[in-house]
């Protein structure tokens, strides 16, 4: 596979199009979520193989809580099963797991499973894999502002849930939608965006490599003159 030399330190994904992928095949929407887990695994393995240090995934937004109860329930169950099932993959590949978002809204068993996996992988030194769960960028900025004010701090980035994690260099959104949908609003100030029509369940190594080539061709100036 043709992988460029200039790779992002942090690549992030808005995994979109699972429902449409399933509907196109005459299946229930949730079948698309299940297939989407295989895409997460494929992308994670590629990051390990290509030496990318941070990969993050928008798995469930604060707004997604307003979906039908049955779909929300399925997604939470799927999250729990997939996380538990990946334990040995994380350990074998030196992957550190982080889960960021409004954890108070997650169920007790899901929080317990997350705590266990995050704890077990905390000293792994390879890829840092981040799941954004019950996350929204506006929620993140408000919780950060409140804590910063209480402590009399000055640097908001130290209070965001992403404190200590480099801002994303590349954001990939699948399924043809060209919007940020309340994702990392502060952290994407200078992120490069790649939009692809591919639906998330079809997004695998080849599509990821194409997004990386597109990223490598961009000229990042950060407001300066080159
Ligand atoms: C992305 O796929 C998964 C989540 C947002 C949880 P969607 O479920 O949004 O799929 P579409 O956009 O309806 O096709
Ligand atoms: C964004 O997808 C959220 C996640 C991928 C978790 P949505 O499908 O929820 O976004 P909108 O509604 O199309 O903006
Ligand atoms: Mg969607």
Structural domain contains residue 2: no
List of residues 6+ apart from 168 with CB closer than 8 A: 8, 10, 11, 12, 54, 56, 184, 187, 188, 191
Catalytic residue (choose from 64, 111, 124, 182): 64
Rounded to the nearest integer, the mean pLDDT of the chain is 98
Substitution candidate for ligand 1 out of 40, 135, 175, 179 with most atoms within 8 A of CB: 175
What's the CA gap between 214 and 114, in Å, rounded? Answer: 34
47 vs 12: CA distance, rounded Å: 11
58 located within any domain:
yes
Mean pLDDT of 124-143: 98
pLDDT band at 226 (very low <50, low <70, confident <90, very high): confident
Q: Is residue 121, in this structure, part of any structural domain at all? A: yes
In a domain, 78, yes or no: yes
CATH number at residue 114: 3.40.1180.10
When pLDDT is cut at 50, 70 and 90, the band that residue 192 belongs to is: very high
Residue span of the structural domain in which 198 resides: 10-214
pLDDT at residue 205 greater than cutoff 90: yes
Q: Cα(16) to centroid of ligand 2, in Å?
A: 6
Whether ligand 2 lies within 6 angstroms of the CB of 86 is answered as no
Judge if the beta carbon of residue 15 lies within 6 A of ligand 2.
yes
| 35, part of any domain | yes
Q: Is the pLDDT of residue 182 over 90?
A: yes
Cβ of 176 below 6 Å from ligand 2: no
**Percentage of the chain with pLDDT > 90?**
99
Non-local (6+) Cβ contacts of 82 within 8 A are 37, 40
What is the Cα–Cα distance from 174 to 19, expressed in whole angstroms? 12
User: Among the atoms of ligand 2, which is closest to the Cα of residue 61?
Assistant: 6
64 is catalytic: yes
- pLDDT of 186 above 90: yes
Is 224 part of any domain? no
Domain count, the chain: 1
Q: Which atom of ligand 2 is nearest to the CA of 177?
A: 13
182 is catalytic: no
Report pLDDT for 155: 98
Summarize pLDDT for 66-107 with one digit per residue, the tens: 999 999 999 999 999 999 999 999 999 999 999 999 999 999
Nearest CA to ligand 2 atom 6: 60
> Using one digit for the tens of pLDDT, what is the confidence trace for 18-55?
999 999 999 999 999 999 999 999 999 999 999 999 99
**How much of the chain exceeds pLDDT 70, in percent?**
100
Residue 223 in domain: no
- The answer to whether residue 97 sits within a structural domain is yes
């Amino acid at each position: 596979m043709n992988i460029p030399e200039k790779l992002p330190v942090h690549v992030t994904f808005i995994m979109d199009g699972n429902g449409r992928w399933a509907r196109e095949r005459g299946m229930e929407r949730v079948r698309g979520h299940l297939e989407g887990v295989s895409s997460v695994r494929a992308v994670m393995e590629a990051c390990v193989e290509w030496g990318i240090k941070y990969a993050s995934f928008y798995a469930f937004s604060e707004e997604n809580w307003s979906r039908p109860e049955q779909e929300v329930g399925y997604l939470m169950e799927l999250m729990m099963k997939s996380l538990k099932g990946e334990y040995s993959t994380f350990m074998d590949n030196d992957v550190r797991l982080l889960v960021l978002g409004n954890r108070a809204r997650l169920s007790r068993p899901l929080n317990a499973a997350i705590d266990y996996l995050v704890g077990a992988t905390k000293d792994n030194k390879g890829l840092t894999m981040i799941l954004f769960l019950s996350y929204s960028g506006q929620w993140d900025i408000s919780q950060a502002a409140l804590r910063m004010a209480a402590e009399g701090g000055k640097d908001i980035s130290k209070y965001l849930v992403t404190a200590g994690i480099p801002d994303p260099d590349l954001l990939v959104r699948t399924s043809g939608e060209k919007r940020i949908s309340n994702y990392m609003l502060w952290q994407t100030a200078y992120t490069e965006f790649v939009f692809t029509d591919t639906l998330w369940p079809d997004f695998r190594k080849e599509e990821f490599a194409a997004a990386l080539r597109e990223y490598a061709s961009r000229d990042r100036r950060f407001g300066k003159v080159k």
